Amino acid sequence: MIYLIFTIITAVILLVFLYQLQSFLVFDPKIHRREKLDARYTYLEIQAEDGTLLEGMEYTPQNFKHTIFYLGGRSQDCVALIHKLSYNFEDYRILTFNYRGYGNSKGVLDEKNIFADALHVAKKFQAHYGEFSIVGFSLGSSVAAYVASKIKVEKLFLLGGFDSVANIFKSRNPLIPAFMVKYTFDTALHVSAVDAKTYLVSSADDDVVPLENAHNLKSKIKNLAEYKELSRYNHDEILFCDESVSLVKRVLN
Q: What does the pLDDT look like over 227-244, one tens digit per residue?
A: 999 999 999 999 999 999
How many domains would you assign to the chain?
A: 1
Report the percent of the chain where pLDDT is more than 70.
89
What's the mean per-residue pLDDT of the chain?
91
Show the DSSP H helices in the chain as ranges: 2-26, 78-88, 111-129, 139-150, 165-172, 187-191, 211-220, 242-252
Q: DSSP of 130-155, one letter per residue? A: ---EEEEETHHHHHHHHHHHHS--SE
**Amino acid residing at 180:** M
Partners of 229 in the β-ladder = 202
Q: How far is CA 221 from CA 9, 108, 140, 228, in A?
A: 44, 31, 16, 14
Q: What does the pLDDT look like over 97-149, one tens digit per residue?
A: 999 999 999 999 999 999 999 999 999 999 999 999 999 999 999 999 999 99
Q: Kindly give, in sequence order, each residue whose CB lies less than 8 Å from that of residue 214, ignoring residues fewer than 6 positions away.
A: 161, 162, 163, 200, 202, 206, 229
Nearest CA to 222 among 160, 158, 159?
158
Q: What is the CATH number of the domain that holds 174?
A: 3.40.50.1820
Domain membership of residue 199 as a residue range: 2-252
C-alpha span between 9 and 110 (Å, rounded): 28
C-alpha span between 240 and 3 (Å, rounded): 54
138: left (phi over 0), alpha (psi -120 to 50) or beta: left
Q: How far is CA 33 from CA 29, 50, 79, 234, 241, in A?
A: 13, 27, 8, 24, 22
Q: What is the CA radius of gyration of the chain?
A: 19
Q: What does the pLDDT look like over 36-78, one tens digit per residue?
A: 788 899 999 999 999 999 999 999 999 999 999 999 999 999 9
Q: Greater confidence, 245 or 181?
A: 245
pLDDT(157) > 80: yes
Lowest-confidence range among 143-147, 168-172, 191-195, 202-206?
A: 168-172
- Is the pTM higher than 0.85? The answer reads yes
Q: How far is CA 88 from CA 6, 92, 244, 247, 253, in A?
A: 56, 9, 10, 12, 14
State the average pLDDT over residues 86-107. Answer: 97
Partners of 43 in the β-ladder = 57
103: left (phi over 0), alpha (psi -120 to 50) or beta: left
Q: How confident is the model at residue 11 (pLDDT cuts 50, 70, 90)?
A: very low
